[in-house]
Structure 1
Amino acid sequence: MENQEIAHRLALRELVDTFSNLADEKNVAAQMALFTPNAHINVVMEGKEVFDLNGHQQILEAFSGYLVQFSVVYHLNGQQTLEIDGDSAKGIAYCQVVLIKEENGQRIKQTSGVRYQDRYVFNNGKWLISERLSDFMWTDIQPI
């Protein structure tokens, strides 16, 4: 593997990890810098599409509206596979997401297994997410 490819792989891993770190901070505005202006995101939960988002404004509104209900947002990223072809790439990344909220005086923990299927573009010296399918494959909800 050549140095350029290694650098791209590291940058793409950092892109995915930075997305998760900013989600944990609920800093959705900063996440927008990780997407192309016309990015497309689909969010699927247990086989049902819950969001079909186009562009920064729709993504910002949907992510902000969703995350505001949780007191704790915690992502733990796992394996990532990538196929890089010049200034474009596609990848799959796995993540466990823990969300905690209060409901009727009870703390509730929602844990999900997420598989991100991404398309990336290299633009002005950095990688950006142009498309993302966020597949929440399973979710477990329990009081804590």
Structure 2
Amino acid sequence: MTKENVRIKEELRNLIDAYALLSDEKKIADVVHLFTEDTVYESYINGTSAGKVSGRKEMEKVFNGHASFVKTYFTLNGQHIVQIDEDTATGISFAQIKMIREPEGKSVLSDYSVRYDDKYVCQDGRWLIKERSGYFILIEERVLRG
């Protein structure tokens, strides 16, 4: 592995970590700038498409709508495997995402185990996510006590 590939892998890891951190902080306007202008983001639950957005503007609207129902996010990123081909790359990453919502005044914890399949592109010297498919593999919900 070349030094350049090591540097790129680190930049891509920082990109997915920034996505998690900014999402947890509900900084959606900053999140969408981690993606290309023509991005495509699709979510799957139990193998079935649960939604698809195209472009930053639509993404920002949808993500803000979702965030408005969530009191707290907490994301922990795991493995991140990438294949680099000059100014493009593909990657697989895994995350544990916890969300607390308060429907009917009760704190409900949703715990998601997610696999992301990504396509990255380097534009103007900066790596961005061009396409992201999020596969919500395990989902658990429970009311928090106390």
Which TM-score band (shorter chain)? over 0.9
Identity, % of aligned positions: 31
**AA at the equivalent of 1:80:** H
> Deviations along 1:34-61, whole A, 9 cap, x unmatched?
1100001111122221211110111111
- Please show how residues 70-109 of structure 1 align to structure 2 within 5 Å: 70-109=70-109
Q: 1:46 and 1:104 mapped to 2: Cα distance?
A: 27
Secondary structure of 1:104 counterpart: helix
Gapped runs of 5+ residues in structure 1?
none
**AA at the equivalent of 1:28:** I
TM-score (norm 2): 0.96
Moved over 2 A (4+): none
Secondary structure of 1:59 counterpart: helix
- 1:43 corresponds in structure 2 to 43
Secondary structure of 1:69 counterpart: coil
Secondary structure of 2:70 counterpart: coil
- 2:127 corresponds in structure 1 to 127
Cα RMSD (Å): 0.8
Q: 2:66 and 2:49 mapped to 1: Cα distance?
A: 15
Gapped runs of 5+ residues in structure 2?
none
